[in-house]
């Protein structure tokens, strides 16, 4: 029985624990969900709630909608992503992966997920971020159960076939530009290589010490003129 319960934990067959919270760290029912939200006490991943705001969803002072073209929206998003990524990594520790939700549902809109290399760094980030502000609003951060973003993402969205649009209950991750990805994650590869031990090709070859019998045979060959 225990093995069966463990095998269905966090899946749709689990009638006790919320599968959506387990997969994406958020649930549209919130605290009113009929199933348990098991919040982790330790994790590599943190979630910063509703921190990214799409500029085209904002309003000007006279109440009209802000309208940017796709290029301007991407530039705005890249600036936001780089600022948050750099701030988190410089203050709290190395980040393996960071993603931003492009969903419209209240439980996912603007959520930022940052997966640190070390759990201790994630815990430190959550503790400090909840005392800070961003763009005039208090930051809300928590540890997230999400470790595999492939399970959390909407596969139909990645194929351009999601019919639920922004209100899909799985993550629609907003991509950054190739240039920014190369700049942020390229330097991580360089650091990784610098920490790596030298390969066999890099190591100087070691000569195997010969036994007394091998040395004696070598001397005999030398006297007889044989190789």
Strands in 141-144's sheet, in edge-to-edge order, are 95-100, 112-116, 45-48, 141-144
pLDDT value of position 20: 84
Q: What is the per-residue pLDDT for 203?
A: 47
CA dihedral 111, 127, 147, 134 (to 10 degrees): 20
Which tokens sit at 64? 């009209």
pLDDT, tens only, 103-145: 999 999 999 999 999 999 999 999 999 999 998 999 999 999 9
Residue 59: predicted pLDDT = 52
pLDDT digits (tens, 9 = 90+) for 124-134: 999 999 999 99
Over range 148-164, report the average pLDDT.
91
For 62, the 3-state DSSP assignment is coil
Neighbours of 113 (CB within 10 A): 22
Cα distance between residue 194 and residue 198, in whole Å: 9
For residue 30, the model assigns a pLDDT of 87
Alpha-carbon distance 174 to 181, whole Å? Answer: 12
pLDDT by residue (tens digit) across 50-83?
Answer: 999 988 776 555 566 677 888 999 999 999 999 9
User: Residue holding tokens 């590599």?
Assistant: 44
Does the predicted model carry a pTM greater than 0.85? no
DSSP category for residue 162: -
Strand, helix or coil for residue 19 = helix
Q: Tell me how crowded residue 44 is: count the other CB atoms within 10 A of its CB.
A: 22
- Nearest Cα to 114, choosing from 65, 79, 149? 149
Handedness of CA 56, 57, 62, 63 (dihedral sign): positive
How high is the pLDDT of residue 204? 46
Q: For residues 99 and 25, is the Cβ–Cβ distance under 8 A?
A: no
Packing angle between helix 119-129 and helix 70-92, nearest 10 degrees?
110
Q: Pick from 30, 7, 6, 2: which is nearest to 18 by CA? A: 30
C-alpha to C-alpha distance for 22 and 110, rounded to whole angstroms: 19
End-to-end CA, the chain: 72
């Amino acid at each position: 029985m225990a093995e069966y319960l463990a095998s269905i934990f966090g899946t749709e067959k689990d009638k006790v624990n919320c599968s959506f919270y387990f997969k994406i760290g958020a649930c549209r029912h919130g605290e009113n969900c009929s199933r348990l939200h098991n919040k982790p006490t330790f994790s590599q991943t943190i979630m910063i709630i509703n921190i990214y705001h799409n500029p085209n969803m904002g309003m000007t002072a006279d109440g009209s909608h802000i309208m940017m073209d796709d290029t301007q929206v991407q530039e705005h998003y890249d600036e936001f992503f780089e600022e948050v990524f750099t701030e988190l990594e410089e203050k709290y520790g190395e980040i393996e992966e960071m993603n931003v939700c492009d969903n419209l549902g209240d439980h996912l809109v603007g959520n930022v997920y940052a997966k640190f290399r070390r759990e201790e760094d994630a815990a430190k980030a959550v503790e400090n971020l909840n005392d800070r502000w961003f763009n005039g609003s208090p930051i809300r951060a928590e540890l997230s159960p999400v470790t595999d973003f492939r399970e959390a993402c909407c596969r139909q969205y990645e194929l351009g076939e999601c019919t639920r649009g922004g209100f899909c209950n799985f993550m629609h991750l907003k991509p950054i530009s190739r240039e920014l990805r190369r700049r942020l994650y390229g330097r991580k590869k360089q650091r990784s290589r610098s920490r790596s031990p030298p390969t066999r090709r890099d190591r100087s070859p070691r000569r195997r010490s010969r036994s007394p019998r091998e040395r004696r045979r070598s001397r005999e060959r030398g006297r007889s003129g044989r190789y």
